[in-house]
Structures are given as structure tokens and as C-alpha cells.
Amino acid sequence: MNQPIRNSRPAIAHDVDRQLSAYDYPLPPGAIAQNPVEPRDHSRLFWVKSDQEVEHRIFRDLVDLLDAGDLLVLNDTRVIPARLHGAKPSGAKVEVLLLEQRGIRQWLALVKPGKRLKPGATIVFTPAIATEHTNRAPLTATVIDSDPETGGRLLEFEHPADESFFSLLDDYGEIPFPPYVTESAAQPDQYQTIYAERNGSAAAPTAGLHFTDELFAQLDAKGIERAIVTLHVGVGTFRPVEVEDITTHAMHGEWIEVTAATVDKISATKARGGRVIAVGTTTVRSLESAAVSGTLVPYTGKTELFIYPGYQWQAVDGLITNFHLPKSSLMMLVSAAIGRERLLALYHEAIAQNYRFFSFGDAMFIDPVALRSQDLS
């Protein structure tokens, strides 16, 4: 296990870029997507072609925008049924959002109401939906510690030794849609990429939600390759930035893995003149964390890397991403790719063009030409 990758504190590009308020923008409530588009690859795609040009396309057009020999890098994390509903022995209701596994039976979690759940408190959970296992014994957890960094609690679960915790979650938990998705008819599998493999996320890597098997087949036929990283999305990704000077914001660590096979694919892609396209900000953070020394190497462990304007890109050439919440660390990462003022201008255009925002919304493809022009400015 490597040492955690911590933020290298890049030199900020301009003083205004360090101000949290500079990443705000007005968004009409109706622009927040409540349901995904079907088929997935029929969502819209805002193509940032260069530092001057844009085009409005459909996501399935991606096959025409990439070149043979390019490499897509995707995050294969799987969203777990991380939201659990239970009660204290007194009958008082408790809601739990699992964030991060800390041991075989231990999880860091956000708990509501948290103030009344001191170490030693017990929570009893019942199945979330009626299944063949509805009559099984309740799942229980004990609060063993608090976590000052997140305001969460460390829970230790009790469950039968012959059942995995993840299989129990299928009965006791539910997929946690984001809080701004309030009127959705989406099914849980629609908040999961089609290539999700490794259990561990409390939220989806949403840029990957647009891909379909048909689109992958077309990309394969053109000679566009794929590689995988893993970042289990937790509080580090969705925690709001709360300090006006963003350079003082501390990212909560999230578990990543960049394998030797992925490093070899990226090296081979760059050697032949191909481009490395990260699918989502979580993929960016994984790859850039593994390249923090200036050379991309295999890495397994936690990353606390915070990317904002002034950051010098090491591994990624282009980026596919969704439209992000105002003042979020994700907006700051994308601003590091194309500049904060340009990103805000593009967001204003996207709103005018009726793009759909956030997790179930449309996508943006930042072409390597656009990213390189920012990097060299």
C-alpha cells in the first residue's frame, strides 16, 4: 500500500481563481436533470473543440470525435446500496449513508441525526424492500467512534459470517440518488455505469453513465481502446467547498487503484501518438494522482489530490465530464483544464441551449486541443 497522495498545492493561475465565490453561477431549477435519457448515448454532448470553438452534438457522436489509437480511461467502481434506514432501541429513526469501508465489518458513515449517536449506541436495520429474505434477523451496527473530519461515525456491523456484507446490502440498503434528484422515476441500475465492477462507491462516476454496449462496439471497431482505473466515490468528491480561499480546502481521502496494465496501456498510447481521454473527474484524479511524481506509475491507496487552476496536467490529454454544481471541487478541476472564465461562459451557453445539468444530465467533451491550449497559456 502506497502512502496517500496529498495535494501538491499548485500555484494559482490568478488571484480571483482562488475565491470560492468566483465559481458560482445561476442555474434555473428546471435545468437539473431528474431522469436519465434513454438510450443513454442519446444525451447531448457539448464538444469544446479548442480555446475558441464549440459544437453541440449527441453523445453517440463521440465515435466521430475520437481518433483511432486514442484511449478512453474509465472508472469501474460500482455504487453500493449505501443508504440504510434503521432505528435506535428507543424506536427513534436513523438514516445512514455508508462512505468508506475501514475494515471487514467497519464503515465510516454519515448518520442522521448524528449528534445523538455517541460511541456505544446501537442501530437496528430492517430490509429496505420485500424480498425472499425479508424475515431474516435484523442487521445491527454499533457506533464505535466519531470522525471529526467528516462529522460522520465509525460503525461496526454484526452479520452472519457466511454472508458477505455487500450481499446483505442488496436487501437492507438502497442506491443513494443525489439530494438534488427529488422527482425521479429512474431505476437503481440507471445510476450505474454498464461497466461497473468493483463495489465501493456512495455515488456514481456520472460521466460514464452515457456509454452503451452499442457505442462501445462502434468505438472498438474504430480502434479506440479502453483502460480501467478505480476510485470509490465518497465524501472527497461530493463534499462542498466551504472556505472562500479554495487553496485551503482539504480533500477527504478516497481509495484508488491504477494498475500496471493501465499504466502500460497509457504509455503505449502516448508512444504511438494517441491521446488519453479521461471519462470523468474521478478518472482524472486517479491518473493524476498516479503521476504526481511526474511519471505515471501503478498506485493503490488513498488520494487527497485537489486539482484547481494552476495545476499542470501530467497524464490526461482530454476529458469527458458532466455539468457540475456551483462552487464544487469538480468545477474547479474542470476549470484547471480550460480556465475558470471560459468554463463559466460555456456553462452559460449550455443553460441557454437547454442542456441538462448534474448527475442524470448531459455531457461535455473537452478536446485535447482545448486542454492543451489552457495548459500552455
* pLDDT, position 125: 93
Count Cα atoms within 13 angstroms, Cβ side, for 101. Answer: 15
Residue 278's SS3 state is: strand
Measure the CA dihedral 76/198/106/91, to 10°. Answer: 90
**Residue 59 near residue 43, CB atoms below 8 Å:** yes
β pairing state of 318-322 and 276-279: parallel
Q: Which residues, at least 6 apart from 198, have a Cβ–Cβ distance to it below 8 Å?
A: 76, 77, 78, 230, 232
* pLDDT, position 2: 62
* pLDDT, position 377: 38
β pairing state of 93-101 and 106-112: antiparallel
CATH class assigned to 83-174: mainly beta
Nearest to 259 by CA among 211, 301, 202: 301
Give CA separation, 89 vs 82, 153, 358, in Å: 22, 18, 38
Can you tell me the distance from the alpha carbon of 77 to that of 82, in angstroms, rounded to the nearest whole number? Answer: 13
Positive or negative, the CA dihedral 282, 338, 177, 239 is positive
φ, ψ of residue 143 in degrees (nearest 5): -75, 120
Can you tell me the distance from the alpha carbon of 196 to that of 188, in angstroms, rounded to the nearest whole number? Answer: 13
Nearest to 278 by CA among 201, 207, 373: 207
* pLDDT, position 376: 39
Q: pLDDT digit of tens for each residue in the chain (377 aa)?
A: 466 777 666 667 689 999 999 999 999 999 999 999 999 999 999 999 999 999 999 999 999 999 999 999 999 999 999 999 999 999 999 999 999 999 889 999 999 987 778 999 999 998 876 555 555 667 899 999 999 888 899 999 998 777 888 989 999 999 999 999 999 999 999 999 999 999 999 999 999 999 999 999 999 999 999 999 999 998 888 889 999 999 999 999 999 999 999 999 999 999 999 999 999 999 999 999 999 999 999 999 999 999 999 999 999 999 999 999 999 999 999 999 999 999 999 999 999 999 999 999 999 999 999 987 654 33
Positive or negative, the CA dihedral 241, 245, 246, 247 is negative
**Residue 285 near residue 231, CB atoms below 8 Å:** yes
Residue ranges per structural domain of the chain = 15-79+186-375, 83-174
Q: Which residues, at least 6 apart from 335, have a Cβ–Cβ distance to it below 8 Å?
A: 17, 23, 308, 309, 343
N-terminal to C-terminal alpha carbon distance within the chain: 37
10 Å CB burial of residue 271 (0-12, 13-18, 19+) is exposed
* pLDDT, position 115: 78
Give CA separation, 206 vs 39, 126, 281, 294, in Å: 15, 29, 9, 28
Give CA separation, 313 vs 215, 278, 289, 295, in Å: 28, 12, 10, 11
Q: Strand locations in 152-216, DSSP E?
A: 152-158, 173-174, 198-201
CATH of 15-79+186-375, one of 3.40.718.10, 3.40.1780.10, 3.40.50.2020, 3.40.50.1000: 3.40.1780.10
Amino acid identity of residue 277, one-letter, is I
Element (H, E) at 96: strand 93-101
Positive or negative, the CA dihedral 182, 209, 129, 126 is negative
The yes-or-no answer to whether 15-79+186-375 and 83-174 have a common fold is no
